[in-house]
Structure 1
Amino acid sequence: MRQPVTEGRGPVRYGPQPPGPASGLPVLPELADVVAAAAGSGEPAPPGGGPELCEAAGGYWRRRGVHCGPNDLAAAPGAPVLLSAIIAAHDGDLLLPRPCPAWWAPQARLLGRPAYHVPVPAECGGVPDPYALLETIRRVRAEGGRPGLLLVSVADDPTGTAAPPELVREACEAAVGEGLHIVSDETWRDTAHDPGGTVLVSPSEMCPEDTTVLADLAGALAPAAWPAAVARFPAGERGARWRADALDRLTALGAQLAAPVAAAATHALREPAPVAARAAASAALHGRVAAAAHRTVLASGGLARPPQAGRCLYADLTPLRGQLAARGVTDAMELEEYLGEGLGFPAPGGHRFGDDLGALRVRLDTAPLLGAPPDPGGRALTADDPLELPEVAAALDRLAAAFHELHRTPANGAGR
């Protein structure tokens, strides 16, 4: 597996490309046409996005029960730069669920902010256990820290799970009660595998004055190669001040959307029928593949929460520690290398997501299981049974072979 180049870099090291797992699907032709039509424009969108983009973003959130006006919104070329601006607009240390998206913590490090991880409950990721959250806040304050922000994701990368509304409410009420502001990353909220499953509720519906919502369009609506993200700030005086501070930072960084990307983002946020249909078909396809990968992990003796949203599965191979040790694998970094070599595509270890290095956890993305160029994932979108396509079946067979080989290795057997 190709290894990342880190020589000459600072404290921010390789991680999966933000905002997370790629789609593995061809660009929607309608969006490509929009980009082509706007390609002649040499003017970027203004910092924070133009009126049409903000209007489209407002409609997107109003359709999901999140009330906002044009002056409550901002856009940027990708979620990382927008999150950085949001963090910079607030005082205090960050609290993050463990595990969390790989691109969150680097924003805190680049801003020189302390970040503390809080364990998630057994049933899902993305939202910290409320009691562990309160204990962490108490401990951080006792050690001289200043907790100020809690980052959550109701539809989570890396665990691929959806947080139940009651857990979201308890965690958010605990955070707000302790004076923290909530940043809700809802990049993956439109990627639920089962529309009739867990109802996704935004913290902004429960704590509207204390929640900033962030969404990267690469989650469901647009290709990751066209970076575009939007944020909804709370209404009122405080929200206006936070938005102004964030816009100042975006302006200073020159973080403006290119005109063709802004046009595509505006079109996607309006959710015309082809965009909505592609989002639904993509979510269903990745759900089928994630379920198949989940069955493979469980059959090998590993553990994993059932995937509910997004494009990944978070596997815990602690029950196979003996078999892994027999192959020279004793931590997440070695597990990442071992599985990456066996699968032929990256399998980021849990240490990328804030988990302990010694924990044998790994994120398995579904995009590499959809096939290979020249038509990655294209046929799978329209197939009656995508799992029976030769390219998908072959990829799932490679996954099964890698885990089967591990499962049948004696715990005291010879190394690799």
Structure 2
Amino acid sequence: MVANDWPISRLNMNLQGMEPSATVSINERSNQLRAEGVQIYKLGLGQSPFPVPPSLAQALRDNASQKDYLPSQGLPSLRRAIADYYHRELSLSYQPESILVGPGSKELMFILQLALDGELLLPSPSWVSYAPQAKIIGRPVNWLPTRYEDGLKLTAQTLEQNCENGGERPRLLVLNSPNNPTGVCYHPNELKALADVARRHRLLVLSDEIYGAVSFSGEQDSIARYYPEGTIISNGVSKWCGAGGWRLGAMLFPPQLQPLLQAMITIASETFTSTSAPVQFASVWAFEDSSELTSYQRDCRAILSGLGRHCWQRLQAAGAELPEPSGGFYLFPSFEPLRAQLEARGVSNGRQLADRLLGDTGVAVLPGECFGRPAEELSLRLAFVDFDGTRALAGLTNASRPEEHWLRRYCAPVVTAIDLMVDWLGS
């Protein structure tokens, strides 16, 4: 049998019709267009624009010779540092034995769903990979509606209504704050209300805190503070240490969920075996208390806060509806208020809008349907990270939020991209 005759019927049925990750695809398409000489503004992939902190990079160089297989659960000193970090930052108590380290939080989320037998509950919109992972494994996904009036946050009332109608089947709720794709953070009173519903209905909660240290206020919170017995925390070094390509993630489990942790360790041992040894040894530094990291994160937050607010104001003034960002590096505007004029230009859904923006302005964004919004909705996700983070950090003279003249100098591609979008909308 030649390769071209290999029958598709032999593929896992769950994979039929699936495409590669939308964020990865838009990044590769943008790079290809740039290679062809097209001016592209990359607002599609959410990768930190900032360099890895110098001491963390040095730690990796110092540990380059580490070559042994480490425990599948992770390097003990790294797990201890992560436990100390959560006690220091959020007053949460975890033992190193209750932490699992993996090659990126994305991989750990996949094996979490593999180890569980239940339904996935996702606020709409949510990050692009939660639902496809569930589909690959064969788990049902239940999208929970959100409204722009509520900042696109899941409310306790909506969760309560879903649970009342959902029977007794096991459910995993994913909560991400600061949020990808909206840029919003959940407030303590909102987390407490959601925790009350989750406890009453015995939900399992995955608190995705990969952007926790990129909350613009500098204050982190977690639903685990209000529902510790039923919450798993996910984190890593990709967003707040600029080390996405290092692929280092971790999950923290309460004592009540130790059987689940043990099941995931078994899966880890039979799949990725262990996470890169040099990366694990180096990453101990990332979770320790240091003035260098504190200053680095403070400056990154100042730049992202100023840039996010500028983009939010410009799009809002142009007629878009969107929540003000309070963490991370994303915006999720709806252009429904401009539907009539966009339909007159042949644009009636989010995918058409994203395609037209790319073709007419060179601005690469993703349609809202990639994140669980209705296909007909005129919504987009923007990642405002297309700038030289090393240069921006060097040009920051104080820790206050920079003004427009500074942003136009140090974050020019993003500011220009928003200008082009606004001009296109008004043309």
* TM-score category, normalised to shorter length: 0.7 to 0.9
Contact persistence 2:70–2:275 (CA under 8 A): yes
Asked if 1:91 corresponds to 2:117, the answer is: yes
Aligned mates of 1:394, 1:239 — CA distance in 2: 46
If asked which structure has higher relative contact order (CA below 8 Å, sep 6+), I would say: 2
For 1:340, the equivalent position in structure 2 comes to 358
Cα deviation 1:93-135 (Å, max 9, x = unaligned): 111111111121122112110011112353334x522222222
Query: 2:391 aligned to 368, 373, 379, which one?
Result: 379
For 2:213, the equivalent position in structure 1 comes to 190
For 2:49, the equivalent position in structure 1 comes to 24
Residue type at the aligned position of 1:290 = G
The equivalences for 1:7-406 within 5 A come to: 10=16, 11-17=18-24, 21-63=46-88, 64-120=90-146, 122-125=149-152, 127-141=153-167, 146-195=169-218, 200-235=220-255, 238-368=256-386, 370=387, 376-383=388-395, 384=397, 385=402, 387=404, 388=406, 389-390=408-409, 392-393=411-412, 395-406=414-425
Q: Quote the sequence identity (%).
A: 23
Contact persistence 1:118–1:129 (CA under 8 A): no
Contact persistence 2:75–2:281 (CA under 8 A): no
Contact persistence 1:124–1:163 (CA under 8 A): no
Aligned mates of 1:109, 1:118 — CA distance in 2: 17
Aligned mates of 1:255, 1:312 — CA distance in 2: 34
Cα offset, 1:255, TM superposition: 5.0
Q: Secondary structure at the match of 2:348?
A: coil
Aligned mates of 2:291, 2:254 — CA distance in 1: 29
Cα offset, 1:346, TM superposition: 2.7
Q: Secondary structure at the match of 2:205?
A: strand
Normalising by structure 1, what TM-score?
A: 0.87
Cα offset, 1:401, TM superposition: 2.6
Shift in CA distance, 311/342, structure 1 to aligned 2, threshold 3 Å:
farther
Shift in CA distance, 255/96, structure 1 to aligned 2, threshold 3 Å:
farther
Cα offset, 1:73, TM superposition: 0.6
For 1:4, the equivalent position in structure 2 comes to none
Cα offset, 1:273, TM superposition: 2.1
For 1:414, the equivalent position in structure 2 comes to none
Aligned mates of 1:314, 1:58 — CA distance in 2: 33
Aligned mates of 2:290, 2:390 — CA distance in 1: 20
Aligned mates of 1:97, 1:156 — CA distance in 2: 11
Contact persistence 2:67–2:278 (CA under 8 A): no
Q: Where does structure 1 differ by over 4 angstroms across 4 or more consecutive aligned residues? A: 7-10
Cα offset, 1:31, TM superposition: 1.7
Q: Which has the higher helix share?
A: 2
Aligned mates of 1:321, 1:260 — CA distance in 2: 51
Aligned mates of 1:265, 1:386 — CA distance in 2: 34
Contact persistence 1:214–1:230 (CA under 8 A): yes
Contact persistence 2:361–2:424 (CA under 8 A): no
Contact persistence 2:50–2:242 (CA under 8 A): no
Residue type at the aligned position of 2:195 = C
Contact persistence 1:163–1:200 (CA under 8 A): no
**Structure 2: any 5+ residue segments left out of the alignment?**
1-7, 28-44
Question: What RMSD over aligned residues (CA atoms) do the two structures have, in Å?
Answer: 2.3
Aligned residues: 387
Cα offset, 1:51, TM superposition: 0.4
Contact persistence 2:52–2:241 (CA under 8 A): no
Aligned mates of 1:348, 1:396 — CA distance in 2: 18
**Structure 1: any 5+ residue segments left out of the alignment?**
1-6, 371-375, 409-416
Contact persistence 1:342–1:402 (CA under 8 A): no
Cα offset, 1:252, TM superposition: 1.5
Cα deviation 1:250-275 (Å, max 9, x = unaligned): 11212521112112321111142222
Cα offset, 1:181, TM superposition: 0.9
Contact persistence 2:48–2:242 (CA under 8 A): no
Cα deviation 1:267-297 (Å, max 9, x = unaligned): 1111422222212211211111111110110
Which deviates further from its counterpart, 333-342 or 216-225? Answer: 333-342
Contact persistence 2:21–2:129 (CA under 8 A): no
Cα offset, 1:246, TM superposition: 1.1
Normalising by structure 2, what TM-score?
A: 0.85
Aligned mates of 1:31, 1:14 — CA distance in 2: 29
Shift in CA distance, 26/342, structure 1 to aligned 2, threshold 3 Å:
farther
Cα offset, 1:400, TM superposition: 1.4
